[in-house]
Structure 1
Amino acid sequence: MPFIASIGAAVHAAPLHAAAEKNDAAGIARLLAEGAAIDERDGSGATPLLVATHANRVEAAKVLIDAGADVNALDKIHDSPYLYAGARGHLDILKMTLSHGADLKSLNRYGGTALIPAAERGHVETVRTLIAAGVDVNHVNRLGWTALLEAIILGSGGQRHQDIVDALVKGGADVNLADGQGVTPLQHARSRHYDRIEAILVAAGAR
């Protein structure tokens, strides 16, 4: 096998990472009992728990989290199990990270909380879960956007994003917090003809 083709395969070569990727809960328990390092890093800086989170391997994640895996361990691109689960809407794993010390103030490589990409991608229950957990609904990322702005600017305007805007507003989002160019959420909604979102914002006092 040419060297360049073997690089990707080597990323998860460690047995614990491989077991996590395969959702092999029994194998993970055995490896940990044999002394495997629970937060060992692979070539990308990912721990076994992050590997399990990438693939939404709930059983593997549960075994690792229950055994004390670090839910806030960041890889080389600033993803952690908590941040990734939130961004991708992996709700079961997200809830486990929240009950095992997730750092609600931790930020991804864009300077955003887990709530911001969850809102953008339309993960309604994830957004509700993160709001209930206490994530700052008005945090501004490096693009100058809040979760509310991303839900409008990068969302579809459909039912999921309408529900997310509603949840954010009810959760205390500042409906008049503008982006870096001074454009408000209401102005963004109107420019995209998102009538239902516009109505939610206006009812909440948006200008």
Structure 2
Amino acid sequence: MADDIGDLMFQAIERGDYNTVEHYVNTYSLNHCAAWDDGYALLKHSLEKGQREISMFLLKDNLKLNPYFDPFFGFNEDKTPLHIAIEKYDMEIIQKLLDKGANVNIRDANYKTPLYFAVCNKDMELIQMLLDKGAEVNKQIYYDSSCTNYLNIAVQTKHIHVVQMLLDKGAYVNGCDTNSKTPLHFAVQNNNMEMVQMLLDNGAYVNSCDTNGKTPLQIAVQNN
């Protein structure tokens, strides 16, 4: 019986049958069957299928918002509900997820965090929302086949206001990527003098060597 109800619930979500979903939630608990995963799987399914009204209804309940995380193997979720909401750019649902306890620093299967997507998209409003909820500004992430940090990405994408926001929140100005390149390396390479000055004003080292033995100062001399 539990399996039958479980399947029927997913089918109701997929076709956007709000009344049936409401009936099952009110009749059975969110831990009615393992497949519902305390509501986590239901919410994820409704978000993936674009069933916003059902997603908002589910978020009224006390449901599970974060997947199980194994300290050795991580988790194999492609995307969490928070990642999906960010992908769909639904700010109301993003805020509700964060307010109800969604992990703001959680990674997807590709080790991407919510803040990663916000920084890459140069989305000031979303960045601020995530930072206000405790997003870690110095977390190591993957970008363009390299292990790096948010400040490096912001410099590479040439968004000075995002760079300033991250610095104001304590981003390490000399944090480097896999190739030992710092934000100043990228700012100099881009010949972005305003960005260079901002980083220098915040304590950037001009003599930090990357894996090719090049410092920002040497790159600046070569560029000129």
Partner of 2:96: 96
Residue of 56, 61, 67 corresponding to 1:73: 67
Partner of 2:122: 122
**Structure 2 Cα separation of the partners of residues 166 and 56 of structure 1:** 35
State the 1:68 CA deviation. 2.3
Partner of 1:10: none
1:20/1:200 CA distance change after superposition, 3 Å: farther
- Larger deviation: 23-32 or 110-119? 23-32
Alignment pair present for 1:109 and 2:104: no
Contact 1:117 1:147 in 2 (8 A): no
Q: Deviations over 1:23-77 (max 9, x none)?
A: 65444322322438578759xxx82312333466543222112122322137854
Partner of 1:136: 136
Gaps of 5+ in 1: 1-12
Contact 1:47 1:73 in 2 (8 A): no
Contact 1:105 1:135 in 2 (8 A): yes
Helix, strand or coil at the partner of 1:69: coil
Alignment pair present for 1:181 and 2:179: yes
State the 1:15 CA deviation. 4.6
Contact 2:105 2:115 in 1 (8 A): no
State the 1:148 CA deviation. 1.7
- Larger deviation: 120-129 or 54-63? 54-63
Gaps of 5+ in 2: 1-5, 69-74, 206-224
Count of matched residue positions in the alignment of Structure 1 and Structure 2 = 187
Alignment pair present for 1:29 and 2:27: no
Q: Deviations over 1:137-159 (max 9, x none)?
A: 10002532112222333x3x2xx
Contact 1:175 1:206 in 2 (8 A): yes
- Larger deviation: 73-82 or 181-190? 73-82
**Structure 2 Cα separation of the partners of residues 54 and 178 of structure 1:** 35
Q: Deviations over 1:109-153 (max 9, x none)?
A: 233432122211222211111111111110002532112222333
**Structure 1 Cα separation of the partners of residues 167 and 100 of structure 2:** 27
Flag the structure with larger Rg.
2
**Structure 1 Cα separation of the partners of residues 20 and 153 of structure 2:** 40
State the 1:79 CA deviation. 1.6
Partner of 1:192: 190
Partner of 2:57: 63
1:170/1:27 CA distance change after superposition, 3 Å: farther
Name the TM-score, length of structure 1 as normaliser. Answer: 0.72
Name the TM-score, length of structure 2 as normaliser. Answer: 0.67
Across the aligned residues of Structure 1 and Structure 2, the Cα RMSD in angstroms comes to 3.2
1:19/1:190 CA distance change after superposition, 3 Å: farther
Contact 1:56 1:90 in 2 (8 A): no
Partner of 1:168: 166
Q: Deviations over 1:80-117 (max 9, x none)?
A: 11233346543222211111121234222233432122
**Structure 2 Cα separation of the partners of residues 173 and 99 of structure 1:** 24
